[in-house]
Structure 1
Amino acid sequence: MKKDLVYRQKYLETVRPFMGKRLIKVFTGQRRVGKSYLLFQIMQEIQTADENAHIIYINKEDLAFSHITTAENLNDFVQEQKKSGQKNYIFIDEIQEITDFEQALRSLLLDDELDLYCTGSNAHLLSRDIAGSLSGRAIEINVHSLSYFEFLEFMKLDDSDKSMSLFLKYGGLPYLKDLPLQDNIVFEYLRNIYSTIAIRDIVNRYALRNVQFLEQLTQFLASNIGNLFSAKKISDFLKSQKITTSSTQVQNYAEYLANAFLIHKVPRYDIEGKRIFEIGEKYYFEDLGLRNALIGYRVQDRGKLLENCIFNHLQIAGYDVKIGGLNSQEIDFVAEKNGERIYVQATLTINEEKTLEREFGNLLKIQDNYPKYVVTMDEFEGNTFEGVQCLSLRRFLKEILGQM
């Protein structure tokens, strides 16, 4: 169980107040973002504090636990393995693979000698249970692909333009630290991860027949990061490419991709009317490397990758993120946390006057005093124009993640 671990402090700090408490700690997120890795880190902390701690680890990807398929199997296994008269720490990896798992968790939670932790890779299934039958009994912690600064720590790199370019190309799945950072090796690994997500978490789970359409939709979304769409618009475009579909099918398949945490659907918010628009949303990928593995890394896509990178880091920093609409103008991100708000415009460069006018001009039309940022790949320390801060991507990420 002892592993050479690079600690992901953000998530450990989030879970520590709940350790030892009669709450189920549920780590959710895309496959291979490091949920199991976090379980091992928590186990290590527990064993450091108490070398006699009794830990029961169940990994549903391990054939040794293939017999645990139902709530009854899970409950029986834990009861057989637990030690009475002391604290038992139960860790269950990929719990969504166990039928009616929530019934077992509710039952196990009644035993004050058990401290429960689990991971899962299906947003719909887990969120439904956490909000429903496990309401008030579970804390959900969403685990993301590595942030840029975690990527630097994992890969033992300095903060530089070159490192940022590597991050935008390869993304932040933790296992990359054990691979040579070469296109053929990294992208082959990432394509295999995508295949696992597509087949196990989507095709098999939802009994999909049109696997080719799932692939086409995923590639379409990967090519159109940052574009405003509706299910109907996507359907109409795919039909123009001789791909038979309907807006309902697009909506369902996009939801399946989001449930597997592969993509994020971001709604559009009317800044003046303070409401969510019914039509129009954007899609961003959880991991940039997976996106690039699907359709190839292209230098001309750096603007899209910049926007996706900003979105991911706003989420990592704990913001609720929406697309902003202001009359006919668009604000890339409206991000809220703890009653505060920031506005963000992303642009590859601000060397052209038209770009400068568009990005700053849109933000200046917002009639409030919340912080406003223009974020660019240009490298400079930043300046302010009429209250709008212009920052390089690396500087902005430091600011929102508290790395300054």
Structure 2
Amino acid sequence: MDKERLKYVLHEAALLELPRIHRRAIEVPLASGKVVVLAGIRRSGKTFLLLDTIRRLVASGVDRRQIVQVSFEDDRLHPLRATDYDLILQAQAELYPELAGRPRYFFFDEVQAAPVWERFVRRLHDTRAGGIFLTGSSSHLLTREIATGLRGRCLSYEVFPLSFPEFLGFRGIVPEAYSQTSEARVAAALDEYLETGGLPEVVLSEPVLRPRVLKEYSDLVFYRDLVERHGLANPPVMRELLRHCLASPASLLSTHKLYHDFRSRGLAVGKDTLYRYLGFLEDAFLVFPTPVAERSLRKRAMQPKKLHVVDWALGYPYQPSAMIDRGRKLENAVFLHHRRQRDDLGYVAGASEIDLVVGASAPEAWINTTWSLADDETWQRESASIAAIGGPARRLLVARESAGRKAPLGVELVEAWRYLLEKPAG
């Protein structure tokens, strides 16, 4: 890293006009005394949450020049060595000597691109920082790096694409109680949400540009977060695996069947490689493998996992939107409604399938999700399986179109738009 070039980076950041920010459900604390970590899929809004935090700090009286803002994916900083971090402190001190003695606030974007960054951050936290705020697009920020270097010093948040309430906020829609007009508008907005997805840039783009934005985004994630980050030796297999997962939200995944399918199509890959590649997708926050709701580890291992995706619109570059089942999109949205709050989720396999179990080892809610209950066979299947569940946990049937059905005794029949506005069950 060159110190003089770094001064340009820091000074440009200090002069950058802060963009207009759409409010999100997460509000980053300004003075927690912890290293604040925002981890999530690329372009889910992490950087804008940092910029909003900077805006709030400046509004509270902090001089903008006290804020040290660096993206470790900035090509001007590379090659970046573990011994270069002190240059950031030196460059800041030389740029603004008049601020000597004042606390510094450090904002580091995409830290997974920096070597052994956690040691530097720990030293800053223990010695001189007024506040430290990090983002990254690797799940290791929530596990491995934090556990080894910053345990007890961090406050971590997972940042997802927009929830349905956040989507309404981006569209300027405020639900009104006891208003049929408002309810109809919110229900129509749910249809748009399930078509558009929740990536902020896509939501704010003109409809004609969205396919291009999604294609560019898909390629960026594929090459930077998968191929380059993990040094993949077989990119075509990863591309096909990514296509398979993203185009099939809320679907069961049998690695054994997938292995034979790939082999039959001439894709040379071993089972161990497939397992590793699935782990890479999970690390990049692209997929959430959900186990069967069993206390027995052996039984869990024997059943395929249900694969939910971080945003169903990411499948559009691989499969036209109309070919991705809208009921699966809705089921995926209900899963994410809960996954934003907790990760102890599961499903029930077999003839009496339950789409989602909240509190996988000690169930708090059982949920089936379907698009429409107008079809008698669908109604019988979905209502019978959820009604057969015993115990004190809530039993819910979530539908976009209830078709005037009456819920069985002990089962809550909830319109999908209404459910996605509620606090998650459980």
Q: Does the TM-score normalized on the shorter chain lie above 0.5?
A: yes
Aligned-partner Cα distance in 2 for 1:362–1:369? 16
Alignment size in residue pairs: 391
Partner residue in 1 for 2:345: 322
Aligned-partner Cα distance in 2 for 1:49–1:89? 13
Evaluate the alpha carbon distance shift between residue 114 and residue 340 of structure 1 in structure 2; reply closer, same or farther with a 3 A threshold: farther
| CA-CA distance at 1:160 after TM superposition | 3.2
Aligned-partner Cα distance in 2 for 1:143–1:217? 24
Partner residue in 1 for 2:70: 58
Q: Is the 8 Å Cα contact of residues 112 and 137 (structure 2) preserved in structure 1?
A: yes
Partner residue in 2 for 1:203: 227
| CA-CA distance at 1:327 after TM superposition | 6.7
| CA-CA distance at 1:310 after TM superposition | 1.1
| CA-CA distance at 1:286 after TM superposition | 0.6
Evaluate the alpha carbon distance shift between residue 84 and residue 368 of structure 1 in structure 2; reply closer, same or farther with a 3 A threshold: farther
Aligned-partner Cα distance in 2 for 1:274–1:343? 20
Partner residue in 2 for 1:36: 47
SS in 2 for 1:282: strand
Is 1:181 aligned to residue 207 of structure 2?
Answer: yes
Aligned-partner Cα distance in 2 for 1:294–1:111? 49
Partner residue in 2 for 1:191: 215
SS in 2 for 1:268: coil
| CA-CA distance at 1:49 after TM superposition | 1.1
Partner residue in 2 for 1:160: 186
Match of 1:134 among 150, 160, 169: 150
Q: Which runs of 5 or more residues in structure 1 are unaligned?
A: none
| CA-CA distance at 1:98 after TM superposition | 0.7
| CA-CA distance at 1:94 after TM superposition | 0.5
Aligned-partner Cα distance in 2 for 1:300–1:77? 47
Alignment of 1:149-298 (within 5 A): 149-157=165-173, 159-182=185-208, 185-270=209-294, 277-279=300-302, 280-298=304-322
Greater percentage in strand: 1
Q: Is the 8 Å Cα contact of residues 56 and 91 (structure 1) preserved in structure 2?
A: yes
With 153-162 and 349-358 compared, the bigger mean Cα shift is at 153-162
Aligned-partner Cα distance in 1 for 2:404–2:136? 41
Q: Give the residue type in structure 1 aligned to 2:20.
A: D
Q: Is the 8 Å Cα contact of residues 91 and 117 (structure 1) preserved in structure 2?
A: yes
- Describe the superposition over 1:221-268 as per-residue Cα deviations: whole angstroms up to 9, x where unpaired: 233333322321221222233333222121111111111111111111
Is 1:344 aligned to residue 367 of structure 2?
Answer: yes
Partner residue in 1 for 2:179: none
- Describe the superposition over 1:276-326 as per-residue Cα deviations: whole angstroms up to 9, x where unpaired: 60131011111122122331101661111111111112122x032533226
Partner residue in 2 for 1:124: 140
| CA-CA distance at 1:275 after TM superposition | 8.1
- Structure with higher Rg: it is 2
Is 1:11 aligned to residue 26 of structure 2?
Answer: yes
- Describe the superposition over 1:366-396 as per-residue Cα deviations: whole angstroms up to 9, x where unpaired: 2211111111120579854211111121011
Partner residue in 1 for 2:412: 389
Is 1:146 aligned to residue 162 of structure 2?
Answer: yes
Aligned-partner Cα distance in 1 for 2:114–2:320? 36
TM-score normalised to structure 1 length: 0.89
Aligned-partner Cα distance in 2 for 1:114–1:172? 33
Partner residue in 1 for 2:33: 22
Aligned-partner Cα distance in 2 for 1:68–1:78? 18
| CA-CA distance at 1:112 after TM superposition | 4.3
- Describe the superposition over 1:113-144 as per-residue Cα deviations: whole angstroms up to 9, x where unpaired: 43100100111355211122211111211000
Evaluate the alpha carbon distance shift between residue 325 and residue 162 of structure 1 in structure 2; reply closer, same or farther with a 3 A threshold: closer
Partner residue in 1 for 2:325: 301
With 88-97 and 161-170 compared, the bigger mean Cα shift is at 161-170
Q: Give the residue type in structure 1 aligned to 2:315.
A: R
SS in 1 for 2:364: strand
| CA-CA distance at 1:170 after TM superposition | 1.7
Evaluate the alpha carbon distance shift between residue 200 and residue 126 of structure 1 in structure 2; reply closer, same or farther with a 3 A threshold: farther
SS in 2 for 1:11: coil
Q: Which runs of 5 or more residues in structure 2 are unaligned?
A: 1-16, 94-98, 175-184
Match of 1:355 among 371, 378, 394: 378
Report % sequence identity.
25
Aligned-partner Cα distance in 2 for 1:135–1:26? 12
| CA-CA distance at 1:344 after TM superposition | 0.9
- Describe the superposition over 1:46-66 as per-residue Cα deviations: whole angstroms up to 9, x where unpaired: 1111143621111223344x1
- Describe the superposition over 1:171-207 as per-residue Cα deviations: whole angstroms up to 9, x where unpaired: 111123542123xx10111111111111011101111
Is 1:48 aligned to residue 21 of structure 2?
Answer: no
With 99-108 and 228-237 compared, the bigger mean Cα shift is at 228-237
Q: Is the 8 Å Cα contact of residues 373 and 403 (structure 2) preserved in structure 1?
A: no
User: What is the CA RMSD across the aligned residues, in angstroms?
Assistant: 2.5
Evaluate the alpha carbon distance shift between residue 263 and residue 85 of structure 1 in structure 2; reply closer, same or farther with a 3 A threshold: same
Aligned-partner Cα distance in 1 for 2:57–2:79? 25
Q: Give the residue type in structure 2 aligned to 1:298.
A: A
